[in-house]
């Protein structure tokens, strides 16, 4: 193959514009003994790809499904809501009248205040739940990373 064609193919290859056939031509050229000296530096690259194509992975991988915590999030939200309600009712003085109101506007304002207090407590509780969730994810990722390192060390020691 002509040197100009090879150089043009290399340029296309490094710009990720080559076709599979063109890449095969490059692999074929760099596997031949008559590579030009200034292109000799690319021989290991294409030799590596050829070598890796021949290798096959024949071990079975155990597939672990992801755990879904959707059910637990609803339980946590229920606990936070219950905690917020208990906090709300425990902070009200005993002598305050929590009965009915004759004026609808007053009842509306009091209902808004009660719902605002409840919303505030639920938001505080949900913030705690999110923080716990973030810490859990962080710890889980760290454990997985350590397990991968241990597995990698085991693989190296077997070789």
Return per-residue pLDDT of the chain as tens, 159 residues: 688 888 898 888 888 888 888 888 888 888 888 888 888 888 888 776 666 666 777 778 777 777 777 777 878 888 888 888 888 777 655 555 556 778 888 888 888 988 898 888 888 878 788 888 888 888 888 888 888 888 777 777 776
Angle between helices 20-31 and 3-14 (to 10 degrees): 120
Q: Identify the pLDDT of residue 72.
A: 77
Is the full-model pTM beyond 0.75?
no
CB 151 within 8 A of CB 143: no
Q: Does residue 26 contact residue 18 with C-beta atoms inside 8 Å?
A: yes
């Amino acid at each position: 193959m002509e040197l100009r064609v090879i150089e043009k193919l290399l340029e296309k290859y490094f710009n990720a514009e080559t076709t599979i056939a063109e890449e095969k031509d490059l692999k074929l050229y760099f596997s031949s003994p008559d590579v030009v000296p200034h292109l000799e530096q690319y021989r290991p690259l294409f030799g590596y790809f050829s070598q890796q194509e021949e290798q096959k992975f024949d071990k079975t991988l155990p597939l672990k499904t992801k755990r879904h915590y959707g059910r637990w999030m609803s339980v946590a939200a229920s606990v936070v809501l219950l905690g917020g309600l208990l906090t709300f009712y425990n902070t009200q003085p005993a002598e305050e009248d929590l009965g009915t109101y004759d004026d609808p506007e007053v009842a509306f304002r009091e209902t808004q205040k009660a719902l605002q207090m409840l919303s505030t407590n639920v938001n505080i509780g949900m913030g705690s739940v999110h923080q716990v969730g973030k810490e859990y994810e962080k710890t889980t990722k760290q454990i997985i990373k350590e397990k991968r390192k241990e597995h990698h060390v085991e693989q190296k020691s077997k070789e």
